[in-house]
Structure 1
């Protein structure tokens, strides 16, 4: 049951990441009113990518504990 929830959460995170990346690529001005050049867009994507790596590591750790928990209950 927890593995299904884990997959649902991962799909939600993927949708959030993709929509955030699309938003960062198509916006012309940021919240401060600064025009978004290619360099600024790429740096914003790099920050989002670093956040994705952090979330991925947390998800991998959660999956490890879910898998370990299910193995203990089956023995």
Structure 2
């Protein structure tokens, strides 16, 4: 049980680091790969695309959290 929680936290922290690095990359760049100067509106649009891309991993993490919580509560009731 404890190993699942530790692994869940490690994966969650990894996703947060990746999202933070991607956000920093988007907001700190002056020109994108096509040579287009990045305006605040373009940066915001890129950030929204990044968030949409992260919806799938977030959904998996939430389902994994629910499974961990349900499994943890079932073990408490079985041991009592």
Q: What TM-score results when the alignment is normalised by the length of structure 2?
A: 0.78
Aligned residue pairs total 74
CA shift, 1:69, in A, is 3.4
Structure 1 Cα separation of the partners of residues 71 and 36 of structure 2 = 49
- 2:31 matched residue in structure 1: 29
- 1:4 matched residue in structure 2: 6
Structure 2 Cα separation of the partners of residues 6 and 31 of structure 1 = 34
Give the alignment of 1:1-75 within 5 angstroms: 1-72=3-74, 74=75, 75=78
RMSD: 1.5
Q: What TM-score results when the alignment is normalised by the length of structure 1?
A: 0.83
CA shift, 1:62, in A, is 1.4
* Unmatched segments (≥5 aa) in structure 2: none
CA shift, 1:68, in A, is 2.9
Structure 2 Cα separation of the partners of residues 41 and 7 of structure 1 = 30
